[in-house]
Amino acid sequence: MSIIKEYINHKNNLNEKILSVFLTSGFPCKESFPELALKIFETGADILEIGFPFSDPLADGPIIQSSSYQALQKGINLTATFNYVSEIRKHTDKPIILMGYANPVLSYGVSRFAQQAKASGVNGIIIPDVPIEEYEDFFSSYFLGLDIILLITPTTTDERIKLIDEKSSGFVYCVSVSGTTGLHHQNKTAGIEFIKRAQNTISKNKMLAGFGISNGDDANAFTRYCDGVIVGSAIIKSLMDDDNKYSSTIKLVKSFKQSLLKS
């Protein structure tokens, strides 16, 4: 069993829902990023997703796009990201996932990327722009030992959800809204109905819901039908406005975790 799935199972067996927090590598301060990541873990995050920056992040909304641009301006790249993971891994055994786009991985070298990911202590990989049809070609044997986490959206057919469930490992990432990441304000009913449909279709993997999880009430509503939530834009937005000790962001993470403990 994968480390990520085993961890989610353990937490769920304790009647806890998973809180996965997304951070952009090296943002907002490249010097203190490992410190920030460890504070996020200590505050209640169960899983950390570190996004490696890219100049054309098509699936991301303006908040994460901005953080990615700022990280690139500071020289953050895959090498720096692997160094961050190595430092964070010295202090925690909680799951760490890298999330990003195929182009930087191809430029870095797919085999080199996979080897460095494993060497640094990464547990899973999310690359949303690699379609299931290219899964076998992209995720070769180099990735053995890493969970490859695939995404489904409200427009994904049940037949395709079953295929993605079969290919994915660690968990299936359920994108709860159509469109890019961000602080969505539309009615959550459609997203919850999609999560219910996915719950009835996915049989192999755990399910985490992401995109549009803006507050504790959202998190609580979605986790009635899945195993946890992924919070990204709300955290990045908080970091943009936070002080250099990240006090507001730490409070926000704590509030998300407290909401999940009540679900």
- Whether 60 is a known active-site residue: answer yes
In the prediction, which pLDDT does 212 show?
80
Residue 124 covered by a domain: yes
Interval 184-201 mean pLDDT: 82
Q: Which residues contact 210 (CB under 8 A, 6 or more apart)?
A: 20, 22, 173, 174, 175, 176, 181, 229, 230, 231, 232
Query: Cα separation of 142 and 176, whole Å?
Result: 31
Catalytic residue among 16, 49, 147, 218: 49
Interval 194-209 mean pLDDT: 96
Residue 28: asked if its preceding bond is cis (omega within 30°), the reply is: yes
Interval 192-218 mean pLDDT: 93
Query: How far are the Cα atoms of 10, 37, 57, 82, 213 from residue 87, in angstroms, in the given order?
Result: 25, 10, 26, 9, 29
Residue 260 covered by a domain: no
* Percentage of residues of the chain with pLDDT beyond 90: 83
User: What angle separates helix 33-43 from helix 247-262, to the nearest 10 degrees?
Assistant: 30
pLDDT at 184 over 80: no
Q: Which residues contact 239 (CB under 8 A, 6 or more apart)?
A: 23, 27, 28, 36, 67, 246, 249
How many structural domains are present in the chain?
Answer: 1
Q: Which amino acid is at 239?
A: L
Host H or E run for residue 250: helix 247-262
CB 88 within 8 A of CB 37: yes
* Percentage of residues of the chain with pLDDT beyond 70: 94
Query: Cα separation of 253 and 37, whole Å?
Result: 12
**Per-residue pLDDT reduced to its tens digit, 122-151:** 999 999 999 999 999 999 899 999 999 999
In the prediction, which pLDDT does 189 show?
83
In the prediction, which pLDDT does 17 show?
96
pLDDT at 158 over 70: yes
CB 251 within 8 A of CB 239: no
Catalytic residue among 46, 60, 147, 242: 60
**Per-residue pLDDT reduced to its tens digit, 225-247:** 999 999 999 999 999 999 878 99
Mean pLDDT of the chain: 92
Q: Which amino acid is at 63?
A: I
For residue 41, give the nearest of 110, 98, 88 by alpha carbon.
88
Residue 263 covered by a domain: no
Q: Phi and psi dihedrals of 89, rounded to 5?
A: -60, -25
Interval 201-230 mean pLDDT: 93
Interval 173-179 mean pLDDT: 80
pLDDT at 8 over 60: yes
User: Higher confidence at residue 57 or residue 12?
Assistant: 12
In the prediction, which pLDDT does 57 show?
67
User: Higher confidence at residue 150 or residue 56?
Assistant: 150
Could you tell me which residues are beta bridge partners of residue 235? none
State the CATH number of the domain containing residue 68.
3.20.20.70
263 confidence band (pLDDT: 50, 70, 90): low
Radius of gyration of the chain (CA): 17
pLDDT at 51 over 60: yes
- Whether 49 is a known active-site residue: answer yes
| Structure-block tokens of residue 160 | 């395709």
Where in the sequence is the domain holding 209, given as residue range(s)? Answer: 3-254
pTM listed for this prediction = 0.94
Interval 18-33 mean pLDDT: 97
